[in-house]
Structure 1
């Protein structure tokens, strides 16, 4: 006979068994019964706003490869977190999110802090959402949420818990083993291998899935076997291919004409863990009519179904890539010469962003993890700060700002002995500056490099693409970002003189806690979508 316990104790025991003893949260009254007499073997990571909480948990989950546990506050807290929940969905970050709900006895009377139809609120950006019908079902619902979050493609899940449920009696919930990676259809792999063997000019487009699955080295080996150039897919949220490898062709620009120009000269496209056709501007994608064969290897059924052309083979890449490599012939081609990168601009005042990024590249430790949210400077970053190490780069797939800094805090919590560098724009920083407070409390090895151009530089560029003039709300002058960091306890320095940058970067990258460097960069932004891939 199974001995009885209560919902809170059963949940804590379940979380211990799942290895989820780090809890990210911002507490409210409906969460206090869960937090009562907090156990010593659990770590509660306090974020000062729920969007920061979600971003931290996302970074932590993606850095560890395990689901992170989040505790939010009723409808208002979930509402604050929704922007970064959308990003977590796009990033395929495994999260188990719980939110407090008012006591069950009060719910019929529309109580203060009651969440109406709580399970529907975060949809459609969760894989699973429920408010259990009975209190005793809460631990089992959390266990189910964890299993679903960890099934590929990973993603966030949600459980609403009425505040009086935690004291209710229930049975313990056993931790169940789960092996959720699905192998691809062997017939599909054989068909793909035959098409690749017949191709004369194959090309690979790679996205985030290979790095997330630990299949990066297998991807490199396959590319070398084929002698095929490899493009990074638009908006890849992780390293897609080592950017210092001779086969790396560059970054696909998120416009139909640019993707067509890059892919149409080939007779076969092998898309690996990448939604190739994620566009940001409208236009004509002639590739769809080109007749070029496309094979899509992915664990994401939705992305595979959304592709307007090609054959999709579903399955985990850690199985699919080696299976394909065993069947395709080694072309025996010599690697091409390493793609030449543009020289950095000369030092000047105001500081060119490309020059600043070249100095960051020189200063960054080889084993550092870079977390980026500086969208207006991505062309300069691709040119001057190539990503080289699997697991060494994270960004966001959503385009929603306010993710980068809290995500970097989460990565630093997951990797406390590794230097984490957050490269962020001033517009992005202002969405979640309070995440610095959490970094200070935990004395994280976090260097924040803030490129300050006085506003939303990406919108300046995008306005040129759309031929928009005089749009309001793009400039954000008069903010002392370095001073703001100091009010949160984070040492900082503002750099306006190029001669001072190297020393400031050294301070940030050797500090025994968080350190912010604000770099005043030239506000002129290149056009992000110029119609050419690269």
Structure 2
């Protein structure tokens, strides 16, 4: 399997591609020192929704034509959920940590849901929030707006302390470099995640001491598994009759996809992608066992859970009593989850890449049945035949548009290598991605409004890619669509948005029916008022209002032509497009 690195580009604040000029003058203020250090630590983009608290940062960028300082490129965002989720998507696109500017307490409050998503996805983001000025007078940067009293909190960081790996307040400019280094190092140390730094305006405005900044420290090495634990797991896998790896996030590192591909082929190990958030194994791999672990739990005698928080739902399924369950990951028991009691007969703290490399070496010294790969391939391939039947059936069907019909249409027109960012309706099984980095699923926390902004950030990180945001009407509304389409126009981000519009919260209605299959909701025969979204707006108008192409589809026969027209818009005209698909 060949691994191709995703293309990347650096953008100027005004959106032109090209290198940033080398600095020709010294740093004057703490704000400038903060920004220079961010760039020095690999932060290329500053996703900004700022306010009165960031006047020194505004001044630093205004002085850039004179200072020629190398600062992160500014990406203006009209809402904090957009800013944080774009930074999240940007990291998914190129693997580089980015920073977000939040406006004091109120901006932080708007960002909490997106930070929750990033935290559960272990995505490193430096969140730099302004703080209400400390002083009422006498200092440069002291309070000069009435809001500077009402916006102050006793513990601003407390709003998101449970979700960040570290939080701090910059109290003096003399240690701005140390504080930025600390923030970046914590965010990027496995298991990783967002960090939060508050910046008082007076501190940012202060002159920077004339000492030179030290070199950037080396990043910490990722955790490697205990050799004894790897040897034990290798013994279990070598002697198993039906070994299975189940994962959702191993493919966060594309190198792990290559290693898992080779390990599975060479040693005859089946792989299930359970609720995948990445491409963990190409869908056309002979030992790909589908997208539901329930299909193999009855047969698997060794179940290796690879960096997956919920490998099965305890109330509905469980591994065989005589199976061996091995939990592996940077935090194999997900210690930040208050309750998680999934069985573990062996636990290994490691990254997926390190474990797979170690396992390949260890299994290479053990006797493994050479016929196991072919036998397992025959036993786990049934999902492919079912997929082909569904796609063939949908091509012949008529009537209202269903989610299955929408997936079949997208599978038919999806360009090779096109990236799908899914928040609701896209099916990993029906779309069957084969290239690492071309499928991104909803974060574990499920905070709505992530998908479309994340697609924008991913498009920014990979400007040559075709990026498709697959969202439901509820997720689309939560994403602040006017702000998202505004960002597409401002930053030249030709994303294709496909909205599955059915006018209700399917998860709300579905969860009620699962809990009360014989209850009043089930017997009423009508959609609960708590699950209704109607009347649904004209979503195509959001795209058109910012210069994009907006299409509305109500008939099956319109689906494929509309998707092809939208793809031509984003690929050839570099014009964002939205297809509003009215589904049942």
Corresponding residue of 1:353: 403
The reply to whether residue 507 of structure 1 matches residue 507 of structure 2 is no
2:327 to 287, 296, 310: 296
Q: TM-score, normalised by structure 2?
A: 0.81
Q: State the Cα distance separating 1:154 from its structure 2 match.
A: 2.4
Matched, 1:367 2:417: yes
Q: Please state if 1:492 is matched with 2:550.
A: yes
Q: Is the 8 A contact 1:91 1:237 kept in 2?
A: no
TM-score after normalising by structure 1: 0.89
Unaligned runs of 5+ residues in structure 2 are 1-25, 137-141, 522-526
Name the residue aligned to 2:304: 270
2:286 to 243, 246, 261: 246
* SS of residue paired to 1:303: coil
Aligned length: 506
Query: Residue 401 of structure 1 corresponds to which residue in structure 2?
Result: 448
Task: Indicate if the aligned counterparts of 1:119 and 1:131 stay in contact, CA closer than 8 A.
Answer: no
Counterpart in 2 of 1:454? 503
Q: Is the 8 A contact 1:242 1:387 kept in 2?
A: yes
Partner of residue 180, structure 1: 221
Match in the other structure for 1:529: none
- Aligned pairs for 1:317-396 within 5 A: 317-328=352-363, 329-333=367-371, 334-335=373-374, 336-337=377-378, 338=381, 339-340=384-385, 341=387, 342-344=389-391, 345=394, 346-374=396-424, 377=425, 381-396=427-442
The CA deviation string for residues 167-220 of structure 1, in whole angstroms up to 9 with x for no partner, is: 223443532121421221111111111122222221111220333353111011
Q: CA deviation at 1:242?
A: 2.1
Q: 1:16 aligns with which of 39, 49, 66?
A: 39
* Aligned CA distance change for structure 1 residues 137 and 115 (closer, same or farther; 3 Å): farther
Give the deviation of 1:278 after TM superposition: 6.1
2:239 touches 2:368 (CA, 8 Å); kept in 1?
Answer: no
Deviates more, 1:496-505 or 1:91-100: 496-505
Distance 2:74 2:368 in 1: 51
**In 2 relative to 1, CA 77–304 (structure 1 residues): closer, same or farther, beyond 3 Å?**
closer
Q: Please tell me whether residue 153 in structure 1 is matched to residue 191 in structure 2.
A: yes
Give the superposition deviation at 1:499: 2.2
Change in CA separation of 1:16 and 1:4 when aligned onto 2, cut-off 3 Å: closer
| Cα drift, residue 223 of structure 1 | 1.5
Name 1:134's counterpart in structure 2.
172
Structure 2 Cα separation of the partners of residues 209 and 146 of structure 1: 23
Contact 1:349 1:497 in 2 (8 A): yes
Residue-by-residue CA offset, 1:78-127 (whole Å, 9 max, x unaligned): 11011111001111111011000012224999823223212322111011
Match of 1:283 among 291, 296, 315: 315
C-alpha displacement at 1:456, in angstroms? 1.4
Give the whole-Å Cα distance in 2 for the aligned partners of 1:263 and 1:161: 51
| Local SS of the residue matching 2:552 | strand
Q: Distance in 2 between matches of 1:163 and 1:302?
A: 41
Q: CA deviation at 1:356?
A: 2.0
Relative to 1, partners in 2 of residues 1:211 and 1:4: Cα closer, same or farther, differing over 3 Å? closer
Aligned equivalent of 2:130: 100
Decide whether the 8 Å contact of 1:402 with 1:430 is kept in 2: yes
CA-CA distance at 1:487 after TM superposition: 2.0
CA distance in 2, matches of 1:276, 1:78: 29
Matching residue of 1:414: 461
SS in 2 for 1:390: coil
Task: Choose 360-369 or 208-217, whichever is displaced more.
Answer: 208-217
User: Match for residue 101 of structure 2?
Assistant: 71
Which structure would you say has the larger Rg?
Answer: 2
Q: Which moved more, 1:207-216 or 1:351-360?
A: 207-216
Structure 1: 4+ residue segments shifted above 4 A:
106-110, 304-307
Alpha-carbon distance, 1:73 to partner: 0.7
RMSD, aligned CA: 2.5
**Inter-partner Cα distance in structure 2 for 1:353 and 1:506:** 18
Residues 462-481 of structure 1 show CA distances to partners (whole Å, capped at 9, x for unaligned) of: 22212261643312122111
Query: Residue 308 of structure 1 aligns with which residue?
Result: 343
Answer yes or no: is the 8 Å Cα contact 1:74–1:115 preserved in 2: no
Does the Cα contact within 8 Å between 1:349 and 1:496 map onto a contact in 2? Answer: no
The answer to whether residue 496 in structure 2 is matched with residue 465 in structure 1 is no
Unaligned runs of 5+ in 1: 254-258, 524-534
2:267 matched to which residue of 1?
A: 226
1:303-356 deviation per Cα after TM superposition (whole angstroms, max 9, x unaligned): 289543221111222221011112224532344254311423344332122122
3-state secondary structure, aligned to 1:166: helix
Write the deviation string for residues 267-295 of structure 1: whole angstroms up to 9, x where unpaired: 1111122224464xx726543x8131112
Deviations 1:142-187 (A, max 9, x none): 2211111111122111101111111223443532121421221111
Corresponding residue for 1:35?
Answer: 58
Indicate yes or no: 2:115 matched with 1:85. yes
